[in-house]
Each structure stands twice: as structure tokens, then as C-alpha cells.
Amino acid sequence: MTWDEVAPLLWPATVDTLYMTGVATLFTVVLGLPLGVLLVVTERGGLLPAPPVNRALGVVVDIGRSLPFLILMVAIIPFTRLVVGTSIGNAAAIVPLTIGAIPFYARLVEIALREVDPGVLAAADAMGATRREIVGKVLLREARPGLVSGLTVTVIALIGYTAMAGTVGGGGLGNLAVVYGYERFETKVMVGTVALLVVLVLLIQAAGDLVARRLTHR
């Protein structure tokens, strides 16, 4: 197989990988960010202290983080079929990608929020800010660099997850590497997919670091 034959295969696979990663990232932020906030505000001494709720959320998050992605993907096949009507393809891969990434990002959000200076929160409270205002205008605002860094790590992890999803019917570069690079022993396809995955990770990391630095300076 020549490089001229490999190139047309790489582009659509890359688009599929970016599509799965992008959609999964969107759902992860929408669900993982509030979960991370709840882990902080419901702890003892938090803005909305509720230790039983905090412990329950912590257990759920830890269980979600402890499951290897391949096992998780297979275990929730019935749920995936219920949501998207199939267990193979790009749409099906997005379901386990999102479920696997939510607890991962939630913990990173928790870490970022804990790094906010408590004195800033105390000052906002002393000035009469409501709990919602403290969370939205102070806590999340001050934690923006950490939140962006955590999201960068999560997106990179999702790219790795998409590659694993290709081994069990997902699309993207992972599927291309398995079908052509592994099963058909096409070394050039394998090299091309690995190179593209490395480039994607480097670009995302650079973009995330740039945004985080700019937010830190502000």
C-alpha cells in the first residue's frame, strides 16, 4: 500500500476522531463541571454543606474513574443501544466516551476549585454576594486557568479513548489502525494514524496551555 493510497483513508478517520472527541467533550463539560462544583460546595464547611450527598457523589465519581475504558464500553452496551439505537459506529462510541470522561473531569474541576484562595470567597461573602454569585462570579471565575488545564487533559484522554473505541466497532483513527494497520499488516497506515494522534495531542496541549496562561495573566 503506497502513501498515496493511505492519505485518503487518514482524512475521514481524523474527522471522525475529532467529531467523537468534540461531542463527547461538550457533554463532559455540561455534566462534569456541575458535578465537580457539587463535590466542592457540598463538602463539610462548603457553601452548601451536605456531607452525605458529598460522600455519595464521591463514591459514584471514584467508581466511574476506576473502570478501564474498554470494560466500561462493553458493560454499557445495552445502555448505548437504548440511547443511540446501535452499539457500533461514531454515535455509539460517544456514549461511553462521555460516561468515562465525566467523573475524570469532575475530579479535575474539584482540584481546580480547591486551589481558589478562600480569602477571595470570604470577601465576596462579606460583601453580601449570594451563594450562586459566589460560585458563578468568584469561584468559577478564579479557577478558570485550572479548569482549562483540566479540560485539556480530559480532551487528550478522550482522544486516547477514541483510539480504543476503534477496537470494538467505533470509528476514527483507532478503527483505521485496527482494520488496516493490524488486521491487514499495513505498516504505513499504522504509522500514519500514530503520527496524526501525536500531532492532535500536541496541538490540543499547546492550545490549552496558551489559553490557561492568558487567563492566569488576567
| 141 domain-assigned | yes
Tell me what pLDDT residue 119 has.
83
162 closest CA partner among 66, 81, 97: 97
Residue 120's CATH number: 1.10.3720.10
pLDDT in tens, 4-35: 667 777 888 889 899 999 999 999 999 999 99
The residue range of the domain holding 151 is 18-169
Rounded Cα–Cα distance for residues 121 and 129 (Å)? 9
Q: Is the pLDDT at 206 greater than 60, yes or no?
A: yes
| 115 domain-assigned | yes
| 7 domain-assigned | no
| 79 domain-assigned | yes
Rounded Cα–Cα distance for residues 106 and 103 (Å)? 5
How many domains does the chain divide into? Answer: 1
| 204 domain-assigned | no
Tell me what pLDDT residue 218 has.
57
| 154 domain-assigned | yes
pLDDT in tens, 95-133: 999 999 999 999 999 999 998 888 888 888 788 888 888
41 closest CA partner among 32, 50, 33, 29: 50
| 174 domain-assigned | no
122 burial level (CB within 10 Å; 0-12, 13-18, 19+): exposed
Grid coordinates representing 123 are: 470577601
The answer to whether the pTM exceeds 0.75 is: yes
Tell me what pLDDT residue 1 has.
62
Percent of the chain with pLDDT over 70: 93
| 39 domain-assigned | yes
